[in-house]
Chains A and B, each alone.
Chain A
């Protein structure tokens, strides 16, 4: 920071003052609280707390819950058999709702195999958005059945602004990317390694506000429409949660390699 040396010194001493005020208030002295190794262990081996039963469904019931919860919060959901049916599903959705058909699509490998050219009704461009695109199409990292939430990461092929600026946000997700509970998102990310990306988005329905006379309206600043296309059927594999709340990765090879696409 260019705040200058004077400010910097003051800031450092504020840090020390706040930290020593905390220690004083807690009746401790010195920088090392006596239970520090315990605390480090708690951070190094994070353990899930109580996971709701609802987040532990498997197979088709999990996909059904994901869809039902997403629809409860006004997302629109379609299921298709394979990636080649995605352009048709999107064209139909946009047509039915009278929405523009110009898509801005993330260059993300997760949806790289979608045969866009099949649908003459759609015009497709790839890349980031300057805010003028009416429809953004992105892949997903995971979906969480517990609340119908899609999880999206920022990255070199995933501009975060595409999730927020277009009026309509289409998320394409494979059925086997849908997991039960939020905790599995963290397990999967840790498994992938490399720390967290700058942004982990949990998106649950389209943008909304009730700030004017408590009247709920969709599309406050983010998208008015969230359309989730679920591709394929769940094969029942993937991460599962054991009864004690710990996460057991079943059949890691299949699931974990695929999730990033």
Chain B
């Protein structure tokens, strides 16, 4: 997918005008965050498990080379193959080569953010292999040629009517006047279409939620069961994962799984949690003969040991999106690439480079909710601030904002002048408000006042009030 992260501001402006999207996001912000709270309340050990999960991943990152090699040797021991990819292009080539070797026409896929990150679908299509997304939400957006707009609910931005229109347009073999005005009818139709694909596919491509070094297993969680059909029915299974997904033991995986679903959807556990180790065993009744794991770096080793190191603890639960006021206002597409919300704003500059990701580090009010819900206790606001600092230091911010900051810094170093100017400013803003108590627009802050009013100052500056109170 072509990144439009540079156009964040424009994207966001468009999103704010989209009523369908607003309705969906409203529903989201009234759903998942409350379910998460309920699930946390049902498990008195939840906070302790968050601490342990954070510590497990912190330990893994400190010893990532060791755990990856252990994982690799266990996969090979069981008859699987491990491929290393430095970047997206290399991962695409590896996957395509495996598909070609398998003589694949159709590849079923279960939702994988890494698959999105490396844009595997386009590459397979361009080379004559047909990828079919099987997660219901992913399937819908694949038909519409759209990127996902949420980590775990990729079609959250769409209304039922939009899905119905898409199905009528793409599923031509059914009667044109069939009823499609219930979610159930849409699900049934997708289930029918995808059942054939599952049974016919030559290769199954999945992600991996965890890579377990102890046993060389991948752990996968879904609610639909689509990953299990994807990794059971075709003769070749490819799992793609970024390198930071490693954990030491089955017990460590278990601890993280206890916080993952609770943080994501408020479920105690996803419906299907599957641990996959190697290819089909000689006497097994089903399963693929070939098992491949592709380990992707794509910018992770550059974040490792940097000030963005902690971001690599992320388990992609989506809790930070669900509770973010900015995500809740604009949705996932505005962020312009595969990730979104607070985790996306921290991760995408790391993968794509700060030059490409324009305003993303500023797409936050730094309210701190994301950090408070993050099961891995990732200091997201602090890292957003660090990107902003880098942006400023590398002169990637606009001349206007750098000039204003310089002006402010100059004033701040001169207390007398600062008080005088701020006092003037207050008077100026009250005059602008013209007695209405709020400002419809403000010079230099058009971005802020375009979508909201700014309350006019009550009368005095903060420093003046502070002095008065202390008397």
Contact = CB atoms under 8 A, between A and B. Distances in A.
Interface of A: 1-3, 7, 10-11, 14-15, 17-19, 21-28, 31, 33, 35-36, 39, 42-43, 46-50, 52-54, 69, 72-73, 127-128, 131, 146-147, 149, 154-161, 163-165, 182-183, 186, 195-215, 217, 219-223
Interface string B125-138: 00000000011110
Interface stretch (B79-87, B116-124, B387-395): B79-87
B458 interface: no
B49 interface: yes
Given A22-B304, A39-B63, A163-B228, A198 B277 contact: yes
A22 B229 contact: no
A49 B252 contact: yes
B4 interface: no
A150 to B, nearest CB: 11
Nearest 10 A/B pairs, CB to CB? A222-B225, A211-B137, A220-B224, A21-B301, A25-B305, A156-B283, A159-B285, A46-B249, A25-B304, A15-B84
Nearest to B72: A15
Interface string B69-81: 1100000001001
A249 B388 CA distance: 55
B278 A198 contact: yes
A15 B65 CA distance: 10
Contacts of A17: 86
Contact count band on B = 35 or more
B2 interface: no
Contacts of A53: 44-45
Contact of B195 (A131, A203, A212): A131
A179 B443 CA distance: 66
Contacts of A11: 83-84, 94
A93 B109 CA distance: 34
Nearest to A42: B248
A161 B233 contact: yes
B93 interface: yes
A221 B198 contact: yes
Interface in B266-307: 267-281, 283-287, 295, 297, 301-302, 304-306
Contacts of A35: 63
A215 to B, nearest CB: 4
B68 interface: yes
18 contacts: A11-B83, A14-B84, A21-B301, A31-B65, A33-B66, A42-B248, A46-B214, A54-B43, A183-B251, A196-B217, A198-B277, A202-B273, A203-B272, A204-B272, A219-B187, A220-B223, A220-B225, A221-B225
A160 B225 CA distance: 12
Nearest to B254: A182
B153 A211 contact: yes
Contacts of A7: 93-94, 97
From A11, A33, A147, residue with most partner B Cβ within 10 Å: A11
